[in-house]
Chain A
C-alpha cells in the first residue's frame, strides 16, 4: 500500500480524496482539465428515481468564506444516468465511482439503489438522507433516527454494495442519527451535508435565493464539520467520510485525525477546478512536515 492509500468499506483507494456530490457533475467537465484517475474516487451528482429540474433560480448566493445553493437535486433521473452519464464517465474514469442517491420516499431510495446495484462501475452507494420525506410531512429523513434507519434497511435489502449514509448537520444530535444508521446496517457514514442558510439582498429587500433558504457550504463550515466528524467517528465503529469546507491538504489531515477514513472536497472545486488535484499533489509535502509516514495511520488519531 502506498503512503496515501486507505481502504473504504473493503475497497482500496489510492488516496483519500473524493470530490463531493453536486460539485463535480458526472466528472467529465473536470476530465477536460486533468486526469481524474488521480482521485481516490468521486461521488457523482445526487441521483433520483425520476428526472428533476430542481428549484427556480436564483439558486446560488455568495457568503463570507462560503456559498449557499438551492439547486434542489437537478439530475436526469437514474435511468438516464445509467444509459448516458455513466458510459461517458467510463471513458475517462477507470476506478469504481461513488453513486450518490436521493429520494423522497423509502421506496424511491430502494428502487434507485437497486438499479445502480447492477453496475460494476459503482463501488459504493452514498445515500443522502437530507431530502424531505413526502410521506412524513416533508420532514427530512436525516433529522429522525427512525426515518433514517428505515431508508438504510430498505437500501441494504436491495444491494450488496457498501452503503454509506450521508448525514445532514441540521439536527440536534448527530450521534443518535449516526448510531441508528449503523444499527440498521450501514457500512459507512459520510458527513456533513450543507447547513441551512439564508441571505437577503439589501437592494430588493428579498431573499437572494428564489427558494428563500439553501445549503451553506465552503470553508466557513469546516469547524462545524470537523466537530461532527469527530463526534460520530468516536461513537460508531464503521468508517466515516469527513467533509465540509475542506480546501487544503492540512484540512484533509485534520479531518482524518478527527476520525475520517476518507475526505470529500465539495465547494472548493467550484472556485478552483484543480482543487482536488492540487490537494493530492500537496499531501506528501504536508505529511513530511508533520512526520506522517502513512495516512492510514492517522485516522482517528485524536482521542
Chain B
C-alpha cells in the first residue's frame, strides 16, 4: 500500500450514471488486476473504495457509478484537480490458477476490474470469453473496449433491448477452463450455481480503512475469517461460505 496524490487527467460520462476517470500518479503499489484504491473526498469522513480498471507506469483508470454523495462529488471533479488515494489495496485476481480458456463474468460496475484482468490474460496468451451483464441497453459500457483487447464478448440485458435477454448466467459459453467474476452479490451467487469449473469472485463490503486495520469488512470462509479489503476482495470458489 501507498498513500499518493494523483492528478485527474480525464473524467467523462460513459452512461447516464457511470463515469470513467483517468488519474496520473505513482502506480508502483499495484501488482495485479482486481486490486482497488481508496479515495479521500473533501468533506466526507470515510474514503471510497473503487476497483482499478486498468493501470500503467504513468497512471490508472477507474470506472464508477454515481450512487451517493461521494461518487456524485467525484463525478463533478475536473482535469487538473487532485485526489488523495491509498493505492495497491487488496489481493487482486490470481491468473496463475487459470487454464487456457478463461471466462469473465461482469455485472454493472463489476465490469471495470475485469478489463485489466482481460488485458493480463490475453498478454499471457490465454483465450478469453467475456459476458457483460447490464439492466438496460442504456447502461451498457466497455463492450467494444473488451473486444479491442481480443476477447470474445457477449452482452446481456435484463430488459432484453440489447444483446441476449437475461442475466450473465443465461449466456455462458459451452466451454471454458476457469472463470473470474465481479458484480452484485445476487449475481455472484447465481454464477456460483451456474458454473461447473473453479473460479474467483470479487466481493464488496462497507469499509472503515480498506487496508486491514479495523476488521470492519470481515467474512467467514472455509479457510477462516478473511478481511475483504486485505485478504480479498477476491476469494476462490472453494473457500466461499455463501449466506442463505
Contacts and interface: CB of A to CB of B under 8 A. Distances in A.
Main SS at interface, chain B: loop
Nearest to A208: B206
Residue of B3, B40, B208 ringed by the most chain A CB atoms within 10 A:
B208
Contacts of B219: 57
Contacts of B211: 29, 273
Given A57-B205, A61-B206, A271-B40, A71 B215 contact: yes
Interface residues of B, number: 25
Q: Which of B40, B46, B47, B217 has the most CB of A within 10 A?
A: B46
Size category of the A interface is 20 to 34
A192 B188 CA distance: 41
A271 B220 CA distance: 25
A1 interface: no
B218 A271 contact: no
Interface stretch (A17-25, A226-234, A250-258): A17-25
A185 interface: no
B128 interface: no
A45 B215 CA distance: 10
Contacts of B242: none
A67 B210 CA distance: 14
Given A33-B1, A53-B220, A66-B45, A22 B215 contact: yes
B44 interface: yes
B209 interface: yes
Contacts of B214: 22-23, 25, 60, 69, 71, 270
B45 A65 contact: yes
B30 to A, nearest CB: 15
Nearest to B216: A60
Interface string A48-65: 000001100111111111
Contacts of B45: 62-67, 218, 271
A29 B213 contact: yes
Contact of A59 (B1, B46, B206, B209): B206
Contacts of B209: 23, 269-271, 273
A32 interface: yes
Contact of B208 (A29, A33, A208, A270): A270
A62 B218 contact: no
A54 B86 contact: no
B216 to A, nearest CB: 4
A105 to B, nearest CB: 23
Interface string A66-94: 11010100100000000000000000000
A230 B184 CA distance: 48
A59 B213 contact: no
Contact of A29 (B207, B212, B220): B212
Given A61-B206, A69-B208, A74-B218, A270 B44 contact: no
Most buried by B among A65, A74, A218: A74
B225 interface: yes
B48 to A, nearest CB: 10
Interface in A271-292: 271-274
The 10 closest A-B pairs by CB, nearest first: A270-B209, A60-B216, A58-B206, A74-B215, A60-B206, A62-B46, A60-B208, A29-B212, A71-B215, A25-B213
Interface of A: 22-25, 29-30, 32-33, 45, 53-54, 57-67, 69, 71, 74, 208, 218, 269-274
Interface of B: 1, 3, 40, 44-47, 86, 205-209, 211-220, 225, 230
Given A29-B230, A57-B217, A71-B218, 15 more contacts: A29-B1, A54-B218, A60-B46, A60-B207, A60-B208, A61-B206, A62-B44, A62-B46, A74-B225, A218-B45, A270-B209, A271-B209, A273-B1, A273-B211, A273-B213
